[in-house]
Structures are given as structure tokens and as C-alpha cells.
Amino acid sequence: MASGLAGVPLGAWLGAALLKRFPRAHPFICGGGLLVSAPAMALGMLLTQYYFYAPFVFMFIGEVALNLNWAIVADMSLISESLKKSLGSGDMESPSMSVQFRALQYALFLTCFVEVIGGAFFLITTKYIVRDKQKVDRAIAEAEAHTSEASSSQTHEENVAGE
């Protein structure tokens, strides 16, 4: 939640500030945010085995970078809607504007395609999640049993040695 509260306004501010100097700032911010987000979150997940705080820091950075997109994508969508309305009302009947609109529309459809892929992977995960959780639960139970056996046998050996 905090990453969203930081990332969305930061993305809006960066977009507004950089768009004045760089007309293509919005897609660069979105692309850069995604390219920073993926390795930061992957690193955060990889470090969980060795560190306690570092994964939280990297996941936060990754989520902030991911949330940079929200305000900008909404703005880009409004541009698309405005262009669509203008084309529909006959204000911009130039063929190049129609081509630009279609190109922007198709580019935005790419996100839908990625969402479908993500949804498919989540659905595939449903096949394995219960089995994998059971394996983890068994491994934890075995480790706890092994630990308690080791400590009780060590206590028994200490008692025998003390007699």
C-alpha cells in the first residue's frame, strides 16, 4: 500500500515534469519503471533465504517502480479517448491521425495480452499450489520432529552421563 502511495504520485510528478522537455517521457517512465521493477522484485524474492530486511527494501523499490505507471497510463488512455472522440466527430479526418490512433490503440492492447498471459499462469498455478503447500507443510513438520527428537535424545544422553 505504501508503495502505491509513493509510486502513483511520483509517476504523475515525473510525467508532468519530464513531458515539458521530452515529449516521449510517458512511455519511457512506464518502460523504465517496469524494467526496474522486475529485477528489484526478483532480487527481493531471491534474498529472502539469506536476509530479513533486504527483501522488503527491494520489493518496496520494485512496487514503487511498478506503480509509476498508474497515473501515466491513465493519462495516455485519456489522450487515446480524446483522439478517438476527435476522429469520430470529424475534427481530425487526416489519414495520418487515424493511423496514429490505431497504432496507439494496438499498443495499448499489448497490455491486455500480457494480462491474459499472467492470468493463464495464475490458473496453471492452481494445479500445483495445494500439492506444493502440502509438501512444504510436511517438510516443516519433519524438520520440527527431527529437531525435537535431536533435542530430546541430547537431553537423555546428558541425563545418562550425569548419573
pLDDT at 100: 74
Task: Check whether residue 4 and residue 61 sit in a common domain.
Answer: yes
pLDDT at 57: 92
**Spatial CA neighbour of 104 closest among 29, 30, 27:** 27
Task: Check whether residue 70 and residue 140 sit in a common domain.
Answer: no
Task: Check whether residue 102 and residue 155 sit in a common domain.
Answer: yes
Task: Check whether residue 66 and residue 120 sit in a common domain.
Answer: no
Low-confidence ranges of the chain (pLDDT < 50): none
**pTM to 2 decimal places:** 0.52
Task: Check whether residue 2 and residue 18 sit in a common domain.
Answer: yes
Q: What is the pLDDT of residues 78-96, one digit of tens each?
A: 665 665 666 565 555 566 7
Q: What is the pLDDT of residues 68-79, one digit of tens each?
A: 887 777 666 666
Task: Check whether residue 5 and residue 71 sit in a common domain.
Answer: yes
Out of 56, 74, 93, pick the residue that ends a domain.
Answer: 93
Task: Check whether residue 26 and residue 69 sit in a common domain.
Answer: yes
Task: Check whether residue 63 and residue 112 sit in a common domain.
Answer: no
Out of 72, 93, 114, pick the residue that ends a domain.
Answer: 93
Domain containing 58 equals: 1-93
Task: Check whether residue 83 and residue 124 sit in a common domain.
Answer: no
d(CA 29, CA 71): 11
